[in-house]
Amino acid sequence: MEKIVVLLHTEPDGTLSRPALEALTVVRSLAADLGSEFAAALVGESVQEAAGLVAGAGASSIYAVEGSDFHHARYTSDAVALDALCRRAAADLVVAPGTSRWNRVLPGIACRFGGRIDTHVCDINVEGGAPVVTRWYYRQRMKARIGRTQRPWFIVCDPGSFSAFEGEVKEVPIEPIATPLAETGFKTEVVGFQKPAEGGQTIRPDAELLFVAGAGWTKMQPDGNARVGDAERLILSFLKSTRASLGGSKSMVDLSSEGQETLAFMTHLNQIGQTGATPRHPKGLSTCCHGEEPHVVGWRFITERRAVNLDPNCGWAQGKADVLYVGDAFEIISKVNELLAEG
């Protein structure tokens, strides 16, 4: 029987993030399908609240590394914590959420334990008594189902791919795990966070809608002038009304690094597809985007897709969007904003 553990870190307020709750869903399902129990291992400044929920999810044992040294995401301290927890759990299968914190450190831990790791896992099943995970290759251009014989096998779940666990909180004893932090010391200190300027927060992973702006917004318009200022106002107004998340095509975000005039709030962090993100949102609206299959992988995990484009044959939309509106995005988004303002 495979021994299973789910590795979770708490948030600064002691709660579990949505990706962590999704990993709980995965581990419960995996354990049930394999006829096994699962343990949980928690890391954070405070883990009590999270432990109650994890117990409610059915963890047979809960191990924890807790304290102020584990408040921030830092490779060295997280590695110390996970090393100790993985030794205690001695699991064959390790399930974890694909947060930036765990993505940074889990591969190194897998390496330490002679294990293997698969990240961005978007589905997991049991076939023939063994797990088979699904993940994408070549920037979401092909999907593979894979299995492994090596153990431990670290399975890191892609956020947004699974439902979040909801359940009762239970009282459960936590086994604290000691770590040799004093001996280790830290060469790295986390000194803070940089956030976009006020009003510039345009990336909202939990938004219902992804609004994708293409380079067309910055190009010369029928009157012979580029209207970058108008584009900024229209897009920001739209984002404010809809609370949508903003994505940009590669050509759009590259404009800034090439010194060309572009939307002031558009950075490489907004880029979707190719070397950008492939976010998961229920709806997506692309505007002024052009391109073929390689450019549209940013669409891959958007459920309902609509596009506004001047070209009815645009490869970005044909066969990829559900609806393509052929028209001027400036005019259409302006009207949309008026309607949204009217409520």
Interaction between residue 181 and other proteins (CB under 8 A): no
Measured from the CB atom, the residue of 38 and 247 that comes closer to other proteins is: 247
Which of 213, 248, 251 lies closest to 330, judged by CA?
Answer: 213
* Total of chain residues touching other proteins, rule CB under 8 A: 99
3, 71, 88, 148: residue in contact with other proteins (rule CB under 8 A): 148
Computed from CA positions of residues 16, 9, 132, 205, in that sequence, does the dihedral angle turn out positive or negative? positive
Which of 10, 74, 72 lies closest to 41, judged by CA?
Answer: 10
Contact 27, 157 (CB under 8 A): no
Which of 7, 58, 55 lies closest to 28, judged by CA?
Answer: 58
Q: What pairing do the DSSP bridges indicate for beta strands 130-137 and 123-127?
A: antiparallel
Interaction between residue 324 and other proteins (CB under 8 A): yes
In angstroms, give the least distance from the CB of 53 to other proteins.
20
12, 48, 87, 145: residue in contact with other proteins (rule CB under 8 A): 145
56, 58, 108, 315: residue in contact with other proteins (rule CB under 8 A): 108
Interaction between residue 190 and other proteins (CB under 8 A): yes
Contact 18, 159 (CB under 8 A): yes
37, 137, 199, 264: residue in contact with other proteins (rule CB under 8 A): 137
149, 168, 178, 180: residue in contact with other proteins (rule CB under 8 A): 149
Measured from the CB atom, the residue of 62 and 83 that comes closer to other proteins is: 83
Computed from CA positions of residues 23, 139, 112, 188, in that sequence, does the dihedral angle turn out positive or negative? negative
In the window 198-227, what residues touch other proteins (CB under 8 A)? Answer: 201-205, 209
d(CA 272, CA 240): 20
Measured from the CB atom, the residue of 224 and 259 that comes closer to other proteins is: 259
Using the contact rule CB under 8 A, the part of the chain among 33-41, 57-65, 105-113, 171-179 near other proteins is 105-113
Interaction between residue 147 and other proteins (CB under 8 A): yes
Interaction between residue 327 and other proteins (CB under 8 A): yes
Q: Which residues pair with 54 in a beta bridge?
A: none
Using the contact rule CB under 8 A, the part of the chain among 42-50, 61-69, 174-182, 270-278 near other proteins is 270-278
3-state SS assignment for residue 239: helix
d(CA 125, CA 143): 15
In the window 249-268, what residues touch other proteins (CB under 8 A)? Answer: 257-259, 268
Measured from the CB atom, the residue of 142 and 173 that comes closer to other proteins is: 142
Q: What mask of x and - would describe binding to other proteins in positions 274 to 313, judged by CB under 8 A?
A: xx-------x-x------xxxx----x---xxx-x---x-
d(CA 121, CA 95): 10
In the window 35-64, what residues touch other proteins (CB under 8 A)? Answer: none
Helix 75-89, helix 100-112: angle, nearest 10: 60
DSSP letter at 278 equals: -
